[in-house]
């Protein structure tokens, strides 16, 4: 289903493929020069697919960043951290970045408007 979809024509929102075990959402947002609030998930693998322009995404193993400053949000499956020396990936339209629960990640970095597909896969 995902492979045969033209995501440039899909409205923003959340779409279930196999319930909450596999779903995706389309976002539109203004990128920023820096994202210093990396997040991590426990239940889901994220697949980031920029659709409009290249996006920088920082990643660092969760063991390096230490504890979250706030309790883990179980309902929304995320916690926010701070970075020391992350690895940056430039992900272009037509490419994707897979982020596992042991990876913190800070997307949204770029210049200008972005349209993006994010696929969530339950572990």
Decide if 101 contacts 42 (C-beta within 8 A): yes
The predicted structure's pLDDT at residue 108 = 95
Angstrom distance (rounded) from CA 43 to CA 110:
27
- Tokens matching residue 12: 């923003």
Angstrom distance (rounded) from CA 12 to CA 29:
11
The pTM score is: 0.91
Task: Spell out the per-residue pLDDT of the chain, length 123, in tens.
Answer: 566 778 888 999 999 999 999 999 999 999 999 998 899 999 999 999 999 999 999 999 999 888 888 899 999 999 999 887 899 999 999 999 999 999 999 999 999 999 999 999 999
**Residue count (the chain):** 123
The predicted structure's pLDDT at residue 2 = 63
The predicted structure's pLDDT at residue 33 = 95
The predicted structure's pLDDT at residue 1 = 53
The predicted structure's pLDDT at residue 36 = 85
């Amino acid at each position: 289903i995902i492979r045969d979809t033209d995501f440039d024509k899909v409205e923003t929102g959340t779409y279930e493929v196999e319930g909450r075990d596999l779903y995706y959402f389309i976002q539109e947002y203004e990128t920023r020069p820096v994202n210093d609030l990396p997040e991590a998930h426990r239940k889901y693998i994220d697949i980031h697919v920029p659709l409009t322009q290249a996006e920088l995404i920082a990643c660092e193993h969760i063991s390096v960043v230490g504890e979250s400053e706030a309790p883990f949000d179980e309902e929304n499956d995320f916690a926010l951290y701070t970075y020391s020396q992350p690895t940056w990936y430039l992900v272009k339209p037509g490419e994707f970045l897979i982020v596992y629960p042991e990876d913190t990640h800070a997307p949204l970095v770029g210049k200008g408007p972005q349209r993006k597909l994010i696929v969530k896969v339950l572990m």
